[in-house]
Structure formats: structure tokens, C-alpha cells
Amino acid sequence: MSKFKVAIIGGGKIADSNHIPALKQLSDRVEIVAVCSRDLTKARALADKHEIDKSFSNTLEMYEQCAPNVVVICTPNNLHYSQTMEALAHNCHVFCEKPPAVHAQNALEMAELADEKGLTLAYNFQLRQSSECKLLMRCQADGLLGDIYHIKANFLRRRGIPGWGYFTDKNIQGGGALIDLGVHVLDLALYTLGYPKPDQVLGNTYDFIGKSGGKGLLGSWNPDTFSVEDAATAYLTFPNKASISLSASFALNMQAEKDRNLEIFGSKGGVKLFPFTLHTELAGELADVQFPYLEDVDIQLKNTEAFLDACFGRPSTVCTAKQGAILQEIIERIYQSAAL
């Protein structure tokens, strides 16, 4: 079998630090043939740095000249939809950065087109590949958790409003802490529950700190142009009577600098994901279990491998197009609920 030809769309940090290094480690399966960016200079520089042959500022030229098998989309959120649709139309498998899109309807159309074309469309939620997430799945499979009925999912930063990029511009990103950070832990929570659609969704968003300004720990931001939520909370119920509590923040007056975690509550056992601890009964007594030697894995590498497995029709743990559509719909319902 010959190697996949891969084109990178987007010339920013996520391409440079995550996707390209992972793909280069998988050089037995893929070859990166091109980098596209609206800014050709940026595209060329990135291509040079990673010894990639071609660079483009126009994707159509790229498709014409390179005929890639796979496209990796690393652009701002509001471009995911059109670029994915175009890539699928050019018969490419697509590995798209999270979130899937800005609107639920778009994510649905993306999934439908991929399905129709028989192509793989997947989203880059790398936390699924962590040792902790793998162990969670194994515990669930081994019956150590019983029925899971509630999950608390947090991705909180105390003062982590990014001082670079488009993270505070609603027109480009579609939202703030929820759509940028909250999606990661929401994906994990849904994945744990088997990715059901919720019955009811209630949520709230806030922007006091973002609009007031102050000390930042991820650079400085401009409060005057801050147009997204700095924090969001939500609550979801599901047909099987399970529920999720979700919190996400760029900025929140809390103690920790960062708190990214899931707590999974089941009838037989409960899990705190980071660091992984299991709380259950063993030998007739309440027991706390620690796993001190979990492997520290390269989650981007593993997720890129999982995407490639999916392209080849092998079992895969990557976030599918259908899951992405469900996720996007939930995000939209939370924002709608908050806007009431």
C-alpha cells in the first residue's frame, strides 16, 4: 500500500506544534505534500521549517497540483465548515481541529457529506488518547464502575484568556471558553456515556472579567474588543437518566491556575480522571485505588494514528463526524439557553 499524501490547511501554532510533528513521526504511513495558508509567506516558512515540498495560499491550486488523500484543517473555527466541505468534495479524508464548526447545522452537513462520499471526517480531541481515558474505558469494560449516572466535567483557567490569536473574537471563533476549552471535556464525558443526545440543556455564560481587563497569565488581552464568554456553565440530562454538569473558563476567580478534570460517578465505582483514582468497594470495604505508573503518552501522535486507522476502516477511538455533529448541537443549545 502506498502512503497517504497529506495537505495541511492553516499555518498557525497548532499545525506547527501538533499536527506536523505527529505526521512526521508516522512517515511510514503518510507524506506531507503541502501547506496552505491565506498568508503565503507563513505557509512557505512553515513548509521550509518542516521540509515540506509545496506551499499555497489558494486551496484549489493545492488540490489541483497535489491531489492529496488527506487534508488536515488547522484554521480558525469559522473556516472549518467551508474548508471541510471543499476537501470532501475533492475526495479527501479530513482531520479537522476542534470544535467541528460554529453552527450545529454546519457540523451536520459535514457529517452527511462525509457519509455520502464514504470518506472519513474526524475531529482532533486528543484527550481521548491519554492513559487516563484508556484506563477509564478499561475500568468501565471490566465492570468496575457499574452504571454511570452523573459526570462533572470542568476545564477552568483562573486567568488564561489567550493574549494571541482570535480567541476573544466571537465572529471568528463562535464563542469563548465553552467552544474552545469546554468542548474537550464535554467530548470525554459524552464518549464515556456512549455519545447520547441530551434531553434537556440549560446553560449560562459570563463575561465580567474579560470585559474589565486585569492581570493575565497567558499574555494580555484587550477588554474593549473582548466579545466572547470568559466562562460558561451548563447542565445536561439524557434519556437514560444520566446527567452532566459542565464548566469552562478562560478567567474565573478561583484558586488553581488550571483545573481540567472529569469526575465520573457510577453505581459500583467512581473515577476522578486526573490524576486517575478509583473509588469503590473491595473485599467488603470502601477502597481508594491509585495507579502510580500510568504511561505518559504523546496524545497527538496517538490521535493522528487513530484518525489514520479510521481512514483505513480499522477500529478507531477518534472523534467521528457524527459525534462531532452531536457535540456541536449541544454547544449551540448551551449558547441559546444562555442567551435567553
Query: Between residues 29 and 272, which has the closer beta carbon with respect to a copy of itself?
Result: 272
Q: Which stretch in 7-15, 80-88, 169-177, 275-283 sits in contact with a copy of itself by CB under 8 A?
A: 275-283
Query: Between residues 61 and 281, which has the closer beta carbon with respect to a copy of itself?
Result: 281
- Measured CA to CA, the distance from residue 340 to residue 338 in angstroms comes to 6
The reply on whether position 197 binds a copy of itself by CB under 8 A is: no
- The residue within the footprint of a copy of itself, chosen from 286, 296, 314, 315 (CB under 8 A), is 286
- The residue within the footprint of a copy of itself, chosen from 1, 116, 283, 315 (CB under 8 A), is 283
- Measured CA to CA, the distance from residue 78 to residue 331 in angstroms comes to 15
Here the cell at position 45 is: 516558512
Binding residue count for a copy of itself, defined by CB under 8 A: 65
Of the candidates 148, 216, 154, the one whose C-alpha atom is nearest the C-alpha of residue 183 is 154
193 contacts 151 by C-beta, under 8 angstroms: yes
181 contacts 155 by C-beta, under 8 angstroms: yes
Query: Between residues 85 and 202, which has the closer beta carbon with respect to a copy of itself?
Result: 202
264 contacts 149 by C-beta, under 8 angstroms: no
Query: Between residues 89 and 217, which has the closer beta carbon with respect to a copy of itself?
Result: 217
For 246, the 3-state DSSP assignment is strand
The reply on whether position 239 binds a copy of itself by CB under 8 A is: no
- Report whether the peptide linkage leading into residue 99 is cis, meaning its omega lies within 30 degrees of zero: yes
Q: Which helix (H) or strand (E) holds 96?
A: strand 93-96
The reply on whether position 234 binds a copy of itself by CB under 8 A is: yes
Q: Which stretch in 49-57, 65-73, 252-260, 300-308 sits in contact with a copy of itself by CB under 8 A?
A: 252-260
Q: How many helices (H) and strands (E) does the chain have?
A: 13, 15
For 98, the 3-state DSSP assignment is coil
Which residues lie below 8 Å from residue 88, measured CB to CB, with a gap of 6+? Answer: 94, 110, 113, 114, 117, 119, 121
Query: Between residues 4 and 276, which has the closer beta carbon with respect to a copy of itself?
Result: 276
- Measured CA to CA, the distance from residue 122 to residue 125 in angstroms comes to 9
Residues within window 143-172 making contact with a copy of itself, judged by CB under 8 A: 144, 146-147, 149-150, 152, 158-159
The reply on whether position 85 binds a copy of itself by CB under 8 A is: no
Query: Between residues 84 and 247, which has the closer beta carbon with respect to a copy of itself?
Result: 247
The reply on whether position 56 binds a copy of itself by CB under 8 A is: no
- Measured CA to CA, the distance from residue 308 to residue 281 in angstroms comes to 40
The reply on whether position 196 binds a copy of itself by CB under 8 A is: no
Binding site for a copy of itself (CB under 8 A): 135, 138-139, 142, 144, 146-147, 149-150, 152, 158-159, 199-200, 202, 204, 206, 208-209, 212, 214-215, 217, 231, 233-235, 237, 241-243, 245, 247, 252-255, 257, 263, 265-270, 272, 277-294, 340
